[in-house]
Homo-oligomer: A and B are copies of this chain.
């Protein structure tokens, strides 16, 4: 066996310093690996039994990683953790990116002693937290997985935080399926990890050859995977993923990497040790049914007597004390008659908030447009440049959030659509992460439609529990940062490109509500705006006033939650009429948010919004062309009032 190991290592990069240590490590071992093989068989049996009990799930996808899980959970080369304290910040971490292999993850924690193995048969039942794919409803899950190709980004965020913020020696392990390596997000994360030298990150690629409906693109072409990860700047170690010794050796080597993340490219078989099923198509996501008994009997036969008792390895280190105080920032200091873009005020607010060490800023090569650069210049050590890779940026932010950080992610509002699935999974992960999208709507002007966020309100509103703020002046934008930081969960701040007048005193207190900015006791309709359209509404009110028509103007500010009380109160004294005006499409935007909130009231709602694909032009020309200018508001109000 020792010569096999040497063969294994001789193929690896010469950058490893740990080679001699490792040889010492293995020369002391005997044939005691049988205990790990035994446990792998047990984990397979648990996976079969649990998926039979639920009559659904992915036992064959579990089987391909059984030896890997056995070693990860019980060998010193694997995770160092307290099995009864999965939240302990000194634990090494595991992200199961191929979340459909959840049953074997649950089985490993049960075998480690966290809960009774008989609970495993509650898999996928409505009253059990052992869901079909892992979620943080379980205390040993940090982030939800199940939408493929996302685990590595979250692992990057955790590893980045451990290495750079926490300065500890923890390791982050993640297991990727081969099918999910087709997802581009994996390669965004690969770039990120090598660029930032995350040598505390170990990715295990489970190359089991078979996808859901077909063999994977590259099947068992292991060298192709090795070449890719090496080209992306990682160490690559190829192993037989069913050989405990090779897995142990590779992990030992990976734990000692300096300056580079390590990928263990494991050749495995889907349904390994399931006779008549192993390495065959059409067994994805299927419980074994009447094959189960025969397979379990075979697996039991693989369990050989051994004196060794497997025990997890505990970590070193002292726990970080968690801070619970709310975030507070000082008052801003904007001159009352100045014009300042809300994106600039967002940058000011983020910089002010940055005095709190929990705050992390991330941007995707747009920091001089989103103005997160103000934060970066003051707190460079807590700013992570993520380059043009929005999916990984969101996943990385999620990873820092599970380490107690509060990440603020900035880019153009349009470009968050690139990571909608990551935002979705961040919500399922109960992630406490904040998004700031600049350059919303047609008011960006000449760059044209591909750069205009016109569906971002809709997208962030559809996230359960989200807070969506759309400030209209610098004071409220600055203070929105504090509100977002104190909201538990996903928060979104929408900022605008053009400079707009100050509307509020620096001392104004903001909550997630709406604010009346213009009123009289003769108002005939309530006009609700936000961002640039609020200023158009104010202009419209001035024009209309000269014509003897009074309108109430509301700064919506909080798009989610909708401030029903303020809207109903205003509408009730303005003819039960509301007109919304937004630099966004109608669907899922302000008009529908208001219409939905008031759907059971005796209030009529009209909307002005962008109704077609916009084009390039000057901001003011575009507001007019797409029906959301002061002039268009004047015409619409007159039409409604008849």
Give the one of A149, A195, A388, A390 with max B CB within 10 A.
A388
The residue on B at minimum CB distance from A125 is B617
Given the known A-B contacts A214-B385, A224-B231, A450-B145, are A613 and B464 also in contact in the complex, defined by CB atoms under 8 Å? yes
Contact: B613 with A213, CB < 8 Å? no
Q: Tell me which of A415-423, A510-518, A527-535, A630-638 binds B.
A: A415-423
Contact: B424 with A126, CB < 8 Å? no
A179 an interface residue at 8 Å Cβ cutoff? yes
The residue on B at minimum CB distance from A586 is B596
What per-residue 1/0 map shows which CB atoms of A404-420 lie under 8 Å from chain B?
Answer: 00000000001101101
A361 an interface residue at 8 Å Cβ cutoff? no
Chain B nearest CB from A15 CB (Å) reads: 16
Contact: A616 with B458, CB < 8 Å? no
Chain A interfacial residues counted at CB < 8 A: 110
Contact: B617 with A373, CB < 8 Å? no
A519 an interface residue at 8 Å Cβ cutoff? no
Chain B nearest CB from A282 CB (Å) reads: 8
A500 an interface residue at 8 Å Cβ cutoff? no
Contact: A625 with B126, CB < 8 Å? yes
Contact: B99 with A450, CB < 8 Å? yes
Chain B nearest CB from A141 CB (Å) reads: 12
Given the known A-B contacts A126-B621, A428-B449, A618-B126, are A184 and B182 also in contact in the complex, defined by CB atoms under 8 Å? no
Given the known A-B contacts A132-B448, A415-B421, are A227 and B217 also in contact in the complex, defined by CB atoms under 8 Å? no
Interface members, chain A 41-62 (any B CB < 8 Å): 54, 56-57
Interface members, chain A 587-642 (any B CB < 8 Å): 587-588, 591-593, 595-596, 598-600, 604-607, 611-613, 615-618, 621-622, 625
A235 an interface residue at 8 Å Cβ cutoff? no
Chain B nearest CB from A278 CB (Å) reads: 20
The residue on B at minimum CB distance from A100 is B447
Chain B nearest CB from A140 CB (Å) reads: 16
What per-residue 1/0 map shows which CB atoms of A101-144 lie under 8 Å from chain B?
Answer: 00000000000000000000000111010011101010000001
Contact partner of A588 among B188, B458, B604, CB < 8 A? B458
Measured CA separation A526–B380 after assembly (Å): 58
A298 an interface residue at 8 Å Cβ cutoff? no
Measured CA separation A182–B385 after assembly (Å): 12
A440 an interface residue at 8 Å Cβ cutoff? no
Contact: B616 with A446, CB < 8 Å? no
Give every chain B residue within 8 A of A621 (Cβ-Cβ): 126
Contact partner of A596 among B428, B459, B607, B622, CB < 8 A? B607
Measured CA separation A585–B56 after assembly (Å): 25
Measured CA separation A356–B449 after assembly (Å): 34
Contact: B147 with A450, CB < 8 Å? yes
Give every chain B residue within 8 A of A417 (Cβ-Cβ): 420-421, 424
Contact partner of A216 among B387, B465, B599, CB < 8 A? B387
**A interface residue numbers (CB < 8 A to B):** 54, 56-57, 99, 124-126, 128, 131-133, 135, 137, 144-149, 179-180, 182-188, 191, 195, 211-214, 216-217, 224, 227-228, 230-233, 363, 365-369, 373, 385, 387-392, 414-415, 417-418, 420-421, 424-425, 427-428, 445-451, 454-455, 458-459, 461-465, 560, 585-588, 591-593, 595-596, 598-600, 604-607, 611-613, 615-618, 621-622, 625
Q: Which 7 A-B pairs have the closest CB atoms?
A: A184-B184, A146-B450, A588-B588, A126-B617, A132-B448, A599-B605, A455-B462
Some 23 contacts from A to B, beta carbons below 8 A apart, are A124-B446, A132-B451, A137-B615, A146-B451, A149-B388, A182-B191, A182-B387, A183-B388, A187-B187, A211-B388, A212-B365, A212-B366, A212-B369, A213-B363, A213-B368, A213-B369, A227-B231, A418-B420, A420-B459, A425-B450, A458-B587, A462-B588, A586-B596
Given A148-B388, A183-B418; 5 other pairs, CB 8 A cutoff: A124-B616, A126-B616, A183-B390, A414-B421, A462-B585
